[in-house]
């Protein structure tokens, strides 16, 4: 796991997945409050 984070491609993929999950959670809360 730690070796993968040194790989720029793996780090970019992990970062984009983290951002996508954050957007999904934000959209979910916005939908709940609407």
Question: Any idea how long the chain is?
Answer: 34
d(CA 28, CA 31): 5
Task: Please tell me whether the overall predicted TM-score, pTM, comes out greater than 0.85 for this model.
Answer: no
pLDDT at 3: 60
pLDDT at 8: 87
4 Cβ neighbours under 8 A, 6+ residues apart: 10, 11, 14
d(CA 14, CA 20): 10
pLDDT at 18: 92
Residue pair 4/10 in contact (Cβ under 8 Å)? The answer is yes
Longest Cα separation, the chain: 43
Both tokens of 20, joined, read 């996508």
Tens-digit pLDDT profile for residues 1-34: 556 567 888 888 889 999 999 999 999 999 999 9
pLDDT at 11: 86
pLDDT at 6: 75
């Amino acid at each position: 796991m730690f070796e993968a984070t040194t790989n720029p491609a793996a780090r970019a993929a992990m970062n984009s997945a983290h951002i996508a999950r954050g957007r999904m959670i934000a959209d979910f809360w916005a939908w709940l409050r609407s």
